[in-house]
Amino acid sequence: MAEHDDYTGSVQRLAAIFQQQHRASRHQVKPDLALRRDRLARIARMVRENQDDLLAAVSQDFGNRAAIETQLLELGAVINAVNYASRRLRKWMKPEKLGVGTNFRPGKAWLRYEPLGVIGIISPWNYPISLALIPLVDALAAGNTALLKPSELTPRFSGLLARLIEQSFETSEVAVILGGPDVAEAFAATPFDHLLFTGSTAIGRKVMMAAAPNLTPVTLELGGKSPAVVCDDYAIEKAARTLAFCKCINSGQTCVAPDYVLAPRAMVEPLAKAILTQMHKGYPQLDGNADYTSIISDRHRARLLAAIEEARAGGATILSHEAPIAADSRNVAPTVVLGAPDDCLLMREEIFGPILPIIPYDRLEDAMAHINRGERPLALYVFSNDRQRQEQVLAATMSGGVTINGAMLQAGQDEVPFGGVGASGMGTYHGHHGFKRFSHARPVFKVRLINGFEMLGMPWKKLAYWMARKTIGR
């Protein structure tokens, strides 16, 4: 990060910029529709005009990041979020009429969606563009200012983002803070009006603890072991294609990627072979393949390789892509694991790599019991053409989101809220849900003609006692 020394984050710079934005949010007129749309347009323009630099920076941070993945899943996703919000913002900002109880008529009540103030956004390394800028779209659509803290594991992108934001926004509107864990800790402890964190469950707990003394409300987008349940009525080849495709996108470094598969015992082996065949077909070679994304760091790669060897030592069958991988490569071969021990890392922790364990079940109820023994996952995938079985899985489990007969699609839509439950997170955003997440729904009641409540007293009149008896029932 030496070339970005001018932007290097510090606790002092964080505090100064926060105070500047805090003052602006309290003393300036709330942003109107035109200003909000202008801010959103600046995000879109920033992405479009700098897409080559963004693609290069992210790829350099990963060692190799498939350009099409960055274009579709990051740059395109941000542009879609901007367009979606801009077209609907006028409607979202309109006051929402509320009903009025008989005793309060002829009064009038409504909700005003107003900006909270200063929004903090801590974004991760795996989708560094979209997981920083889509929350920013929602925050700016709601009329807030924002501070971003991108991951130190993507230094080239994070430094570029800092420069681009500085060129596109006043510091009192949006700013980027760079730095390592010490800056992240100070960021989480800053008294934001709302804090959104995307990352691991373990760090999410620390973020929530840091925010608690300030009573900062938090949205936590975490992870967990998202299961895919394959039923015996679903075609093996169709399930295999979906699972292989979604597990290999970004080399499995996706919070909503299928983490493991539950399949009928008789289907496990043919399904495993079909998945591996699809992986071979999609990536006939690994090293030198521009479409195959590398693992973010040597440390993360070493963890994945150690997890495979731990499972192998525990008696698991390892079905792996056999293309050669150089010793200095950060690639990990797409791998299917059968018979992984329950206590091995692949079964204990979110994998975050192109490794897919398959677990047999004898009855669908057994698959549900397996899921429910763990923490509630961020995503759940059900492969069945039988509506009764689909409903059986949904009724017996809980997850942040679900896709039926597909994977990951619930997380990529502006119309659909994205978020976890329990250990996989709290709160949702995207589109209108994000607008409301970063707004205060401010209720307003207006007295018209007469104030019926005041007519009851003071002193309290017979009508007040009659109303009390009638309401309570005595």
Active centre residues (catalytic): 221, 255
Contacts (Cβ under 8 Å, ≥6 apart) of 309? none
DSSP codes joined into one string, 384-413: -S-HHHHHHHHHH---SEEEESSSSGGGS-
User: How far apart (Å, rounded) are the C-alpha atoms in residues 237 and 164?
Assistant: 45
Alpha helices in 324-450 (DSSP H): 345-348, 364-373, 387-396, 431-437
Alpha helices in 147-195 (DSSP H): 155-168, 181-188
Position of tokens 């020394």?
5
Count of alpha carbons within 13 Å of 23, Cβ hemisphere only?
Answer: 7
How would you class 449 by CB atoms within 10 Å of its CB: exposed for 0-12, middle for 13-18, buried for 19 or more? exposed
Measured in degrees and rounded to the nearest 5, phi and psi for residue 158 equal: -60, -40
User: How far apart (Å, rounded) are the C-alpha atoms in residues 3 and 293?
Assistant: 25
Strands (E), 87-198: 96-98, 108-115, 118-122, 145-149, 174-176, 194-198
